[in-house]
Structure 1
Amino acid sequence: MTAVVVITDLVVLAKHLRLLDLAEQRGVTPLFVFGPETPAEELARHRGDPAHPLFRLKDEDLRHVTDTSLDTLLRAVAPWLRERAVRAVLNVGEVFVEAAGALAQALGLPGPGTHAARVCRNKVLQRLAAPALAPRWTLLEASRSTAADDWDAFPAVLKPASRMSSSGVRAVAGPAAVAPLLPDYGADELLLLEERIDGREFSVESLVREGRVLWAGITAKDTNESGTSFFTETGHTSPAPRLTPDQERLLLGANTDFLRSVWFGTGMSHTEFRLTADNRVVLMEAAARPPGDAITRLWRLATGMDLDAALLDLALGNEPATAPPRRRARQVYLDHPRGLLADVTAGDVPVHWVGEQGRWPDLPPVPREAPPRGHAVLVSRHHGDVLGDQSDSQGRSVSVVLDAPLDADLDAATARATRSVTIHTVDPAPARTPEEAVR
């Protein structure tokens, strides 16, 4: 039987577990490579649970590797390449983008391509590849001793070139604010200092086949940047509301221009832009893989499209089914109290501990004119986790997914869906003195 190599980590695959069934429906065996962000004990726990889809996975159809390098990936898949007819390579996480892109291209299989994969893992390369879309930027010197001496465009943003999930992205008001932040970065990290762009933030998700955009949708984003130095995403709405046709054309055109500039081949892309008050479109970052958070779920609710099926079809060299939006869907992350996470309650909206359970709910689409509905409360953290600042995506804890007809008041529906959610925390136990510990 032919096979598809799926390269991922457990926290990402939890959103894409339908790939097992979809692969079998297409007559291909899914072979999984899990990366270093997958805890071995968590993987074993889910594989030992008869209720979890990974229970069906055979030992010979799984590899768990310790790093994301191309050499390590090649060692992991080499036996499969000798023994199986591998028809597709499908990467569904960020950290393997480059290695998976190189593997697919070397095998002559559909993928974004090695150039696009490399550029989409590095924000400096993105600015070099598409200068017309880039903000004003500079690369900090290696010594960083006079990091901001020659930069005169403040307020600005300091960001590492290769991290993800808003990690390390900080607002800086002036030159004096840069130096105190530098110890938070690795000595070998490339750091960008760039102009801070005022304007609404959007992402454009695309399905691309051999350089041709088959489908693209615009998602509006909310962040916690107001009143903080962070840029953590706190909400997504698909399709984006309150855009004029001209603004939609500008964003979709910028997305197409970027994909063309990096020679993007086949797969799903995720580009993030700011749209200024005078309709300037500025690239924030781009990814050569499916979007994070619940965005694929939002587009499924909004359009009825099965994006997991589309991902697999593209990897297999087939053209996926696409559809326009018929509803509007939203994910909103909630503020949480500080303390140890004890419980989450939500009235009649189902609560899913997706982090602990290692799987997300399916959330199938509903009829076009169905009333607004809260579909799920998603808890990404574990019982007992410490809840604190939401300084990046890993600091968030609870979100609500809902949808409504395109012409409905989604803000009112959001307020109703979130009103009944309560995040319960307890205070951490006080530290014990050495004397108390021996009593």
Structure 2
Amino acid sequence: MTAYRDSGAPPAADTAGTRRPTVVVITDLIVLAKHLRLLDAAERRGVTPLFVFGPETPADELARHRRDPRHPLSRLADEGLRHVADTSLETLLRAVAPWLRERPVRAVLNVGEVFVEAAGVLAQTLGLPGPGAHAARVCRNKPLQRLAAPALAPRWTLLDPARTTAAGIRDAFSAFPAVLKPASRMSSSGVRAVAGPDDIPPLLPDYGLEELLLLEERIAGREFSVETLVRDGAVLWAGITAKDTNESGTSFFTETGHTSPAPDLTPAQEKLLLDANTEFLRAVRFGTGMSHAEFRLTAEDRVVLMEAAARPPGDAITRLWRLATGMDLDAALLDLALGTEPPTAPPRRRARQVYLDHPRGHLTDVTAEDVPVHWVAEQGRWPDLPPLAENAPARGHAVLVSRHRGDLLGELADSQGRSVSVVLDAPLGTGIDAAAHDATGRVTIHTAAPSPAATTEEPVG
């Protein structure tokens, strides 16, 4: 792959010889698949979206979706798209330089993790709204987050994979049980529970020799994320999402569910989480955009920062908040990038995403009773999932398949290992657990064993 792809054609006039204002959207295909409402939001606001796709976007899949007249990406002109080979600022600048010379760029909008830092620097340099270069840098590095907000941090230390020994760990750190995590990875990749110093050296070959490792005390307590819309450092809207993980009985911390808004929190606990989130945003001098910060709340109501991101949340969380509040968060992201204040709304329903455990083997099919199945990885797009009336009965909206047919399904060691989830919602004043149990029980994941002779079909839920 070259540094970037360019059709070589001059930018076309958008209307009658003039070029409309543009927004540079920096992303990857797997992320944009759930933010495709941005195209319609841009059209309504009179701006033309120009897309930079990163190295995690397969070129053949991007081309396939652009050839498909049913896919929104088919609407993109060649001159409105770049596909870059890495996420460095230098490569991003090479890709967008022709646009900056020839078009009126009004906004830079990043909707993924890997470009957070480069996009933050670009937006600030152009004098456009964004989280800011400093906030973007800190939010890409977990040790910097600990240093920026020490009152929210667990006890921690840094490890060098090339020099670390159990004896050295004993001398430097005593807060066991602990968690070992790479400083700059995402999707729970490489995050492992460790009971003591002797557990760590056998894990080190799984990390790069130059990779910075964080060892921190393991915090017992419920996990939450706080999603926030921020403009010029002021919080316009914040919502708390409850998280489920597979950490019980494993050494992993893969997220297996989200519920928005979080249930079973007292008003005082909600305030603790929201105040901690505001404290962190202030500490990193967050400017404008959407943030996603993850916290643990202990039995003693101590709030501890796990990690934070200067971007929209992953998985279906933006979809959950749309179901819960009616807010169009894709439109809100664009409004913030354009320097305008989006409308906000409180929750009126409760929405949940549940990831299912899967039988081991090659994925062949996913079926469900009464809930549509969407192969989002293969189709390159997520379903729209419009919100329901406030008192509408509980409903399973969609089954989302985030893997391809033929993929080998195995252990849920990180988020990339997950395969199938269900999205549902219910009235705010009613319990959602029964509805979730019913919706997941209607899904069957079909797999074929690695040996072609053996197949399994197991209902999960």
TM-score bucket (shorter structure): over 0.9
Partner of 1:436: none
Cα deviation code 1:18-56 (max 9, x no counterpart): 111110110000000000000000000000000000001
CA-to-partner distance for each residue in 1:74-102, whole Å, 9 max, x for gaps?
00000000000000000000000000000
Q: Which amino acid aligns with 1:312?
A: L
1:193 to 2:215 alignment = yes
The residue number in structure 2 matching 1:384 is 406
Secondary structure in 1 aligned to 2:413?
Answer: coil
Q: 2:232 maps to what in 1? A: 210
Instruction: Say which of 312, 315, 325 aligns to 1:303.
Output: 325
Name 2:248's counterpart in structure 1.
226
AA at the equivalent of 1:114: A
- Pairwise CA distance, 1:375: 0.1
Deviation of the 1:140 alpha carbon: 1.1
1:120 corresponds to which letter in structure 2? C
Superposed, 1:252-401 pairs within 5 Å as 252-401=274-423
Q: Which residue type is aligned with residue 144 of structure 1?
A: T
Gaps of 5+ in 1: 432-439
Superposed CA deviations along residues 227-280 of structure 1, whole A, max 9, x for unmatched, are 000000000000000000000000000000000000000000000000000000
2:234 and 2:165 map into 1 onto residues whose CA distance is: 45
Secondary structure of 2:100's counterpart equals: helix
Residue 149 of structure 1: SS of its match in structure 2?
Answer: helix
Distance 2:261 2:340 in 1: 25
Given the alignment of the two structures, is residue 74 of structure 1 paired with residue 96 of structure 2, yes or no? Answer: no
Letter in 1 for 2:89: L
1:178 equivalent in structure 2? 200
In structure 2, what is the equivalent of residue 126 of structure 1?
145
Aligned partner of 1:410 among 418, 429, 432: 432
**Counterpart secondary structure, 1:217:** strand
User: 1 CA distance for matches of 2:204 and 2:257?
Assistant: 29
Letter in 1 for 2:50: L
Count of residues paired in the alignment: 431
- Please state how far the C-alpha of 1:174 moved relative to its aligned partner: 1.1
Distance 2:75 2:111 in 1: 20
Q: Hey, what's the Cα distance between the residues in 1 that align with 2:297 and 2:377?
A: 33
In the alignment, the residues of structure 1 paired with residue 367 and residue 153 of structure 2 have an alpha-carbon distance, to the nearest angstrom, of 43
AA partner of residue 242 (structure 1): D
- Which segments of structure 1 move beyond 2 Å, counting only runs of 4 or more? none
| Separation in 1, partners of 2:433, 2:46 | 43
2: distance between equivalents of 1:317 and 1:30? 16
Letter in 2 for 1:111: G
Residue number in structure 1 paired with 2:165: 145
Q: SS at 1:342's partner residue? A: strand
Cα deviation 1:114-137 (Å, max 9, x = unaligned): 000000000000000000000000
SS of equivalent to 1:252: helix
Q: Which moved more, 1:71-80 or 1:404-413?
A: 404-413
Distance 1:186 1:430 in 2: 36
SS of aligned partner of 1:148: helix
Q: CA deviation at 1:152?
A: 1.4
Using the alignment, how far apart are the partners of 1:252 and 1:335 within structure 2? 32
**RMSD value over aligned CA atoms?**
0.9
State the alpha-carbon separation in 1 of the partners of residues 293 and 23 from structure 2.
Answer: 26
Aligned equivalent of 1:434: none
CA distance, structure 1, for counterparts of residue 312 and residue 66 of structure 2: 24
Looking at structure 2, the residues matched to 394 and 271 of structure 1 have their Cα atoms a distance apart, in angstroms, of 20
How much does 1:430 deviate? 6.7
Q: Distance in 2 between matches of 1:420 and 1:218?
A: 28
Partner in structure 1 of residue 4 of structure 2: none
Q: Which amino acid aligns with 2:127?
A: G
Does 2:110 align with 1:91?
A: yes
Structure 1 counterpart of 2:410, one-letter code:
G
Question: Residue 11 of structure 2 corresponds to which residue in structure 1?
Answer: none
Q: What is the identity, as a one-letter code, of the residue corresponding to 1:60?
A: E
Q: Partner amino acid for 1:177?
A: D
Which TM-score applies when normalising by structure 2?
0.93
Please give the alpha-carbon distance, in whole angstroms, between the structure 1 residues aligned to 2:127 and 2:361.
Answer: 51
Identity in percent: 82
1:155-202: CA deviation from partner (whole Å, max 9, x where unpaired): 100000000000000000111100100000000111011000000000
TM-score when normalising by structure 1 = 0.97
Separation in structure 1 between the aligned mates of residue 198 and residue 94 of structure 2, nearest angstrom: 47
Amino acid at match of 2:170: D
One-letter amino acid of the structure 1 residue matched with residue 394 of structure 2: P
